[in-house]
Structure 1
Amino acid sequence: MQLNPYGEYAVLLAASLANNWPGDRDQIEQRTRDVGMTMPFPRHLDDHEQTRRVIDDWLCIVDATSDGHRAELLNEQMARAAAYPRMVDHDGEGWHLHYRDNGQSLPQVLRSVIAVGTALHLTTRGMHRLRRCEAEPCRQVVVDVTRNGRQRYCSVRCANRAAVRRHRNRQS
């Protein structure tokens, strides 16, 4: 039984969009489908641009320098997306919670889902579970979903590159 479907998938979706920005609205919507969102989104001409703003706002949360600042920014994001939680049953998914109003645009839905998902991820797994990759010069977002909570790199490639760099520094 999964009690928190918003946390992990929403944060991974945000990281996916931040790390590899889609070229158009259809590609953004496809990413939502890839993580299991099934609802239809009304089309608006500025969806691509507005979704970029949502992700840029989310990156401020990723880059926050303290837990308190991160929580403050995240609370602001959730306030902007505020809607009372509601039980829904659509698209054969079974009963679940939505943290957004019906009929919202793609960027509005993503702001809500990503903000609530990030809050759930950080409060249930730890405030340190969202960061930038520690391998220089990589700037990819790392969403730590590991069991031990010690993921520092976005990929094995970056982890290996950092290990080689540390080894060479010790040798010199």
Structure 2
Amino acid sequence: MHFAPDTLLSLRTAVHLVNTAAGPGDQLRTMADLDHFLQQEDFTGSRTRTVGELREVRHLRTVFRTLWTADEDRAVELVNNILRNARALPQLVKHDGWDYHLHATTPEAPLAERIAVEIALAVLDVIRGGELERLRVCAAQDCEALLLDESRNRSKRFCSTGNCANREHVRAYRERRARA
């Protein structure tokens, strides 16, 4: 599936956000961590820079992990709840060097709401395209990071947060050697 640029960006942001809690240590503990994350994701709009804002964004990791692992009916329910709670009003906008793309909140809406709505809209596109299986959890035995399978043949199994693919291939090789 070919994702629209804003959809792809939002899906990657969801993966990156949830994966800040994957692996050793939380990478989203402080306001500076949040600032760095938002800068890396090129996220714009108003900010309160409060502990509450940080807490709300950290909570989204749980929401998106649930969304990522949900079946289609549950994913639709979650997406609709996010959009309904934010009273989302989709509109085309052009800003910061981006061509026209979809927003459904104002730049002044709370940060966590803007993130949630943009990602919900992206997942909405994925569901409508029948591509929900592209939202995955890493197949490594010792990893719970999320991944977005952008491959043509839907074959991506391991995240990019560590060396999961290498570790799993070495583990499988050693198992095969032990059986031989």
TM-score (norm 1): 0.82
> Which string of whole-angstrom CA distances, capped at 9 and with x for unpartnered residues, describes residues 112-148 of structure 1?
1111122224444711111111111111111112222
- Provide the residue aligned with 2:138 in structure 1: 133
Aligned-residue RMSD, C-alpha: 2.5
Q: 1:153 aligns with which of 150, 158, 177?
A: 158
Structure 1 residue 47 displacement after superposition? 0.5
Instruction: Show CA shifts across 1:39-81 (max 9, x none).
Output: 33231521000111122111111222x3332333233223223
* 1:13–1:32 CA contact under 8 A, matched in 2: no
Alignment-mate amino acid for residue 10 of structure 2: A
Instruction: Please give the alpha-carbon distance, in whole angstroms, between the structure 1 residues aligned to 2:163 and 2:38.
Output: 26
State which of 4, 25, 31 in structure 2 corresponds to 1:25: 31
> How many residues are matched?
169
Structure-1 residue corresponding to 2:91: 86
- 2:98 counterpart SS class: coil
Matching of residue 144 in structure 1 with residue 166 in structure 2: no
Cα offset, 1:29, TM superposition: 3.8
After superposition, the C-alpha distances for 1:71-120 in whole angstroms (9 at most, x for unaligned) are 33233223223311123343443443312134101111111111112222
User: 60, 64, 67: which one pairs with 1:58?
Assistant: 64
Distance 1:18 1:165, change over 3 A: same
SS at match of 2:92: strand
Secondary structure of the equivalent of 1:128?
Answer: helix
- Quote the Cα distance in structure 2 between the aligned partners of 1:70 and 1:93: 28
Cα shift at 1:10: 1.0
5+ residue gaps, structure 1, are none
CA contact under 8 A between 1:131 and 1:141: conserved in structure 2?
Answer: yes
Structure 2, unaligned runs of 5 or more:
21-26
For the Cα contact (< 8 Å) 1:11–1:121, is it kept in 2? no
**Alpha-carbon offset, residue 149 of structure 1:** 1.6
Distance in structure 2 (CA, Å) of the matches to 1:115 and 1:105: 15
The DSSP-based 3-state class of the residue aligned with 2:48 is coil
Residues 1:12 and 2:2 aligned together: no
Supply the AA of the counterpart residue of 1:19. Answer: N
Would the alpha carbon gap of residues 82 and 144 (structure 1) be closer, same or farther in structure 2, given more than 3 Å must change?
Answer: farther
Q: Could you tell me how far apart the structure 1 residues matched to 2:135 and 2:108 are? A: 30
